[in-house]
Structure 1
Amino acid sequence: MKYSNSVSFLVYGRMALFSDPITRAGGEKCSYQVPTYQALKGVTESIYWKPTLMWYIDAVRVLKPITSRSEGIRPINYGGGNTLSIYTYLTDVAYQVKAHFEWNENRPDLANDRNENKHYFIAKRMIECGGRRDVFLGTRECQAYVEPCEFGSGKGAFDDLPELSFGLMFHGFTYPDENGKNLLQARFWYPKMRNGVIEFCRPEECPVIRTVKKQKPKQFSEGKNLTCCDFLAEEAGYNGMDAKTV
C-alpha cells in the first residue's frame, strides 16, 4: 500500500544489536539476524518524532550479508561492581527502510498539531540532515548514520534469495498512548524475507500479543509540559521554516 506521507532512508553502521529477549535472561545479549520493527521505529523516531503522530514501518531491505562477532563485555551490576557477559553483534550492516506516519487518535489533547504537510516536510529535512537526535541500531554503543535513498535502489546481498524465514521473533512494544488501554504490551510475529525485503505487518495484526504491565500514558497540557507550536508553521511557511522551531 502506498501512503502520501511515506518516507524512505538508508541507515548503516559498523555494528548492530537487535537483542533476542530469550538470551537476555542470563545477562547475555545475542542479536537477531535482522532488525526488529521496534528497532527501526526507534531509528525513525530519532530522525523525527512528536507525540502527535505514530510511525509505522512498512518494510526493510537488507543490503549486506549477515555476519556477526562476539565480544566480552563488563557491564555494571545493579548492586555495584562489574560482571562479565558475552554480547553477539551484527557487523557492517546497512538497511533501506520505508515508513509512514499516522495520527495518534489516543492523543486528542494534541489534535491541533495534526498538520500533515508540516510534519512530512520536517521529517524529510531531518532525513537529509542525518536525524534530529543520535541514531543507533538496537543499543546505544551501535552508532548509526542516516541518509536519503530510494527504497529498492542499488544491489542487495539477498536479492536472489526467494524466501528466508526467521521463526517467532519480537515485533515491538505497544505503549499505553498507542492502544488506549492503559497497558504496556509486547508483540511477536513470524517474519519472512523475500528477495532481501521484509514487509512488516501492522502492530495490531501480530499473531502473538502479551501484556507486560498496567501503565498510564503521560498527559500533556498546554502551558505546563506542552508548547503550542502549530501556529508557527502556518506563519513561517512549511518550506522556509527552520526545523529547530518545531
Structure 2
Amino acid sequence: MVKPEFPKSASGAPPVVVQVWGDAALFTRPELKVERVSYPVMTPSAAVGVLEAIYWKPQFQWKVVAIEVLNPIRQFTQRRNETTDLASLTDAVSGTRRLDTVANRVQRNAVCLRDVAYRIHAHVIPRPGVDKPEAAFRDQFRRRVTRGSCFSQPYLGVREFSAFFGDPDDQPADVDLNEKLGLMLHSVDHSTTPPSFTWFNAEIVNGVVTVRDEDVVSGAA
C-alpha cells in the first residue's frame, strides 16, 4: 500500500511524526454545553496539546497538517463528576480561594471514544525573530519521542485519559473510514475575552484527516 504524502513546510521539510494511543479519549464538542460528546476523531487542538506536552519552547509553535486514524471508531458512555465552581486565573495563581467541589458537584454523561490510536503529522513554525533553525527543533522533538521524554503526561482530550506515545510504526490508517465531519474545532485562543475559536471543514478520507489552511474559518462556539 502506498503511504500518503503530507504537505511540506515552507523550508521544504516533511512534517515530524509521532504515534499516540490510549484506552479512551474525549475530544469534547464545544457547542454542546451540558452533556459532553466527543468528536469521532482527534481534533488539531488536541493534537497540539499532545505535541506541546512532549516538547514546547516559546521560540516556535506547532502546526498540525494531518492526523491518521489507526483504529476503528468505537464509542462508550460514561457518567462523570464535574464541578461548576471554577477558579479565575488570578485566584489560581495566588491560591487564595479554595474550590468547593462537594457543594458544586454535578454529574454529566459523556460519549467517549474507546481504544484509540493516531499518527500526528505536524510542522515546527519558528516565531518571528528566532534565529535557531527549524531543523534543530525537529531533531530535538524526534529525540524526545524516541526516549519517551515529555514535560507533562500527554492526554487525549481530558486529563484522566492519558496518552502513550512513541516513534511511528507501519500500522496503516483505517482505510475504511471515509466520512464528512462538517465543522470541527481547530484551535482556541485563550488570550481574548471571551476565548476565540477557529474551525475547519473536516473530512476523513481513507482514515486520514488533512488540515488545510484554506479550510480554516473563525467564529464563536
Measured against the shorter chain, the TM-score band is 0.7 to 0.9
Partner of 1:235: none
* Separation (CA, whole Å) in 1 of partners of 2:190 and 2:80: 31
**CA deviation after TM superposition for structure 1 residue 155, in Å:** 3.2
1:5 touches 1:120 (CA, 8 Å); kept in 2? no
**CA deviation after TM superposition for structure 1 residue 104, in Å:** 1.6
**CA deviation after TM superposition for structure 1 residue 210, in Å:** 2.6
Of 133, 137, 142, 1:115 maps to: 133
Q: Which has the higher helix share?
A: 1
* Higher RCO, Cα 8 Å, sep 6+: 2
**CA deviation after TM superposition for structure 1 residue 122, in Å:** 1.1
Partner of 2:116: 93
Tell me which amino acid in the other structure corresponds to 1:122: Q
CA RMSD of aligned residues (A): 2.3
**Residue pairs, 1:14-93, within 5 angstroms:** 14-23=23-32, 25-26=33-34, 28-78=35-85, 80=101, 81=103, 82-93=105-116
**Residue pairs, 1:116-195, within 5 angstroms:** 116-132=134-150, 133-149=152-168, 153-156=170-173, 158-161=174-177, 163-174=178-189, 185-195=196-206
**CA deviation after TM superposition for structure 1 residue 211, in Å:** 6.3
Counting aligned pairs with the same residue, the percent is 28
**CA deviation after TM superposition for structure 1 residue 70, in Å:** 0.9
Q: Which has the higher strand share?
A: 2
Structure 2 unaligned residues grouped into runs of 5+? 1-6, 86-99
CA distance 1:98–1:16, change in 2 (3 Å): same
**CA deviation after TM superposition for structure 1 residue 2, in Å:** 2.3
Partner of 1:238: none
Tell me which amino acid in the other structure corresponds to 1:127: V
Q: Normalised by the size of structure 1, how large is the TM-score?
A: 0.72
Structure 1 segments (4+ residues) deviating >6 Å: none
Total equivalences in the alignment: 195
Q: Normalised by the size of structure 2, how large is the TM-score?
A: 0.79
Q: Deviations over 1:194-220 (max 9, x none)?
A: 111111123xx34530369xxxxxxxx
* Separation (CA, whole Å) in 2 of partners of 1:63 and 1:140: 22
Rg larger in structure: 1
1:185 touches 1:211 (CA, 8 Å); kept in 2? yes
Structure 1 unaligned residues grouped into runs of 5+? 213-246
**CA deviation after TM superposition for structure 1 residue 58, in Å:** 1.1
Partner of 1:10: 19
